[in-house]
Amino acid sequence: MKLENKFVLVTGAGSGIGKELVLALLKKNNKVLAVDMRQESLDALKTEVGENENLSTHTLDISDKAAVEKLASEQNDIDCLINNAGIIQPFVRVNDLDYNAIEKVMNVNFYGTLYMIKAFLPSLLKRSEAYIANVSSMGGFLPVPGQSVYGASKAAIKLLTEGLYSELKDTKVGVSIVFPGATATNISKNSGVDTAHLSGGDLKKSSYKTLPASEAARLIIAGMEEDKFHIFLGSDSNFMNFLYSLSPQFATNFIAKKMKSLLPK
């Protein structure tokens, strides 16, 4: 799907990859509906963009099914839906993760994405050409210690999207799934996750070189335009996908060693 002169809805649009998607899509003369749960982030986005009749914003908690359905009833001419919104969990083991955090992650990452798909798919199917791109994570195909529930939510997005792809193959709705690796965003802050126990040295030792959010957005748009089934973002995501395909156990042990310092002692 050529992403020019289309109407695109982007969730999690107030910062990080979502914001860069909005900026890139506007440059390609698309009309963009930027959705985020934080009004202040959308206000900052509008300030950065300036006067642009192709940008509209909407404050929305995607885990609120009724609110999502209301938005879909008001916006039934969307050509493309990019489900980018997501949050991470505190960096703790499953044994130490409380149920409130578990439910919050699943409600936003899985149910929020599912609500968006269910609400907008009927109108997308009526378009002459349409597209859905869902953002999973490298953690959606590879377990990361301290992010096991987050990974489970993103693995659910992986299988949901692959199933959706198979169901829509004979329609005019294209489907892609995105697997970002380490990307320079504020996801920890926006998720309300305390990383005070992590030193700069810990992060440097445990992390790959982060991909700029602007480059992640460029790769997502290019992947959608090429109708890619899987879109891997960053050298770490590409490498770990290759390694995991060869030996899931070796890849799991490899990433566990890399990420060990992120977990509380």
Show which residues are catalytic: 150
Q: Which residue has the tokens 């968006």?
A: 116
Task: For residue 35, give the nearest of 97, 100, 84, 80 by alpha carbon.
Answer: 84
Q: Contact 195/91 with Cβ under 8 angstroms? A: yes
Q: Contact 134/161 with Cβ under 8 angstroms? A: yes
Helix (H) or strand (E) holding 168: none
Q: Strands of 7-11's sheet, edge to edge?
A: 55-59, 31-36, 7-11, 80-83, 130-135, 173-180, 230-233
DSSP strand pairing (80-83 vs 55-59) = unpaired
For residue 52, what are the CA distances in angstroms to 23, 40, 188, 243?
11, 18, 30, 44
Helix (H) or strand (E) holding 11: strand 7-11
Query: What is the rounded distance in angstroms from the CA atom of residue 10 to the CA atom of residue 147?
Result: 25
What size, in residues, is the chain?
Answer: 265
Query: What is the rounded distance in angstroms from the CA atom of residue 236 to the CA atom of residue 207?
Result: 9
